[in-house]
Amino acid sequence: MDRSKKLSGRVAIITGAAQGIGASYASALADEGAAIVLADILDAEPLAQEIRQRGGKAMALKVDVTSASSVKSMVANSVEEFGSVDILINNAALFGNVQPKPFLQITSEEWDRMMSVNVRGAFECVKAVAPQMKKQKYGKIVNIASGTVFKGIPLMLHYVSSKGAIVAMTRCLARELGDDGVRVNTLAPGLVMSESVLDNPAWRGAVVQNNVNSRAIKRDATPEDMCGTMVYLCSSESDFVTGQVLVVDGGSVTH
């Protein structure tokens, strides 16, 4: 165990970790010494192999965050493989492939799907991991929201509403789990140029430039820009921080 690393000896589950920002979180936590569980409905084994080749510990699991049985198995497999679960990053969500549209054009089915993945998915994962963290009397849960919650942007009502729910969920969970040594916080990124966003024609040109112009630091955000804050929220450096929202968007939101 390398005690010079901030997460040495910790075990972290990252949902939606096969690509994009989730993959960056996983790599950053692995570099700080955590054993990584890559949970995704997509194949995360290539990233797991890459982390192991760098000398880290990692396993990939196929997980559907909307399935209670799937996330329960995820936690059981993590404990069996690595002995504990110390960190949960609720990163799995619908966003990159979503097409912005007026709320009058959002179907009931689209709304329900967004809430199922983005809100109930996070709920199912916390519910599955909480007994283990309570037993250990220690845990770090980082929920992922969005700077859009504090802006009220148009054309993404279902998405922004789902991320507002995540902020509220974080505050409630922090109260319920504080006496068990479990800290629950929210990281709220701005528009990050991840793989799925770059592949979506809706997130190009003036839409992106206007977002950049709203920032104090006027440049595109990369997945790596999120990682320092994520490591902080997962490490002992934030042991007296819970129920908080940390916006990482170059100063577009000053919350």
User: Strand, coil or helix: what is 171?
Assistant: helix
> 159 an active-site residue?
yes
Query: How far is 116 from 114, CA to CA, in rounded Å?
Result: 5
Token pair belonging to 76? 């059981």
Total Cβ atoms within 10 A of residue 144: 25
Which one is catalytic: 25, 138, 159, 232? 159
- Residue 36 has, within 13 A of its CA and on its CB side, a CA count of 34
Cα 37 to Cα 18, 30, 66, 71, 168, distances in angstroms:
11, 10, 18, 12, 26
> What b-and-e string marks burial along 112-128, b requiring 16 or more CB atoms within 10 Å of the CB?
eebbebbbbbbbbbbeb
- Sorted by sequence, the CB contacts under 8 Å of residue 225 that are 6+ apart come out as 192, 248, 250
Total Cβ atoms within 10 A of residue 142: 25
Residue reference for tokens 């804050």: 229
Burial class (CB in 10 A: 0-12, 13-18, 19+), 139: buried
Query: How far is 120 from 70, CA to CA, in rounded Å?
Result: 13
Residues classed as catalytic = 159
